[in-house]
Amino acid sequence: MRILDRLVIKNFLMLFCLFLLCAPPLFVLGDLAEHLDDYIDRGLSLGEVSMSYVYMYPLFIQWCFPIAALLGAVFTVHWMTKHREIVAAKAGGISFHRLVAPLLIAGVLLTGVALALTEVVPRTNKISAQILRSEAPGRSWRSDFVYRSEEGVSWQVNRLTASDGRMTDVVIERPVTDDRNGLHLIAEGARFQAEDGWILAQGFMRTLSGDSAETTIEFDRLMMADLVERPEELLEVPPEP
């Protein structure tokens, strides 16, 4: 490789890496500004949000590859034009196309790197989404989720903290079967006690029988011992199919 080729590639890679380091934080700031209210509503800590963006960084880097390569090539040629290196190369019998040929080779190699990132990005995005959805392993709370038990009971919960067994904005549905009535519960909150099970507060309960008859009551406090799911079970994320 000629000295001139090494100079072109060195300048290009230096500018490419510079743009690649500077651009992703802009994506982070833009995404954070868009979703900040959502993160606050979910009760995510600064560490959790930061860790989610660490796992999203490969995606942002992949987004930056085309623009970083374009800007790197443009500014490399501009730098060489400014310092009369293109004129000197032409005076030495080197055409412009031959002079910028290393940029094409570097572009092909960087395309391979970008394709390799496509294998990494889905995995890191999945981990980031699990953190933001409160599904990271070892977490003691979960927010904005739906859970369906083996008995067919569906839970829709705004926030659950397993440490104290409390939930907020709860909707529970149980379908009608031959041996039990259907159930539709809406409650502002719920608390789990080992002896009594789930105790719901401030809500409505609608009971549906097999003959389509229904009864609706309003309650301030309702004990539901037949709901056997414990807070730790509601933290479990169903496996992917």
Does the pTM of the predicted model rise above 0.85?
no
Tell me the residue ranges of DSSP E strands in 117-196: 141-148, 154-161, 166-174, 182-193
Q: Digits of tens for pLDDT over the chain (241 positions)?
A: 588 788 888 989 999 999 998 999 999 999 999 988 888 877 778 888 899 999 999 999 999 999 999 999 999 988 888 877 788 878 888 888 888 888 888 989 998 998 998 999 999 988 888 777 655 555 667 778 888 888 888 999 988 888 788 999 999 998 888 778 889 999 999 999 888 889 999 999 999 887 778 889 999 999 988 888 888 888 776 544 3
Residue-level pLDDT at 177: 82
CA distance 227 to 220: 18
Inter-helix orientation angle 101-132/3-22, to 10°: 20
CA distance 64 to 70: 10
CA distance 145 to 231: 13
Residue-level pLDDT at 234: 83
Residue-level pLDDT at 237: 61
DSSP character at residue 227: -
Residue-level pLDDT at 61: 92
Cross-strand bridge partners of residue 222: 200
Residue-level pLDDT at 137: 52
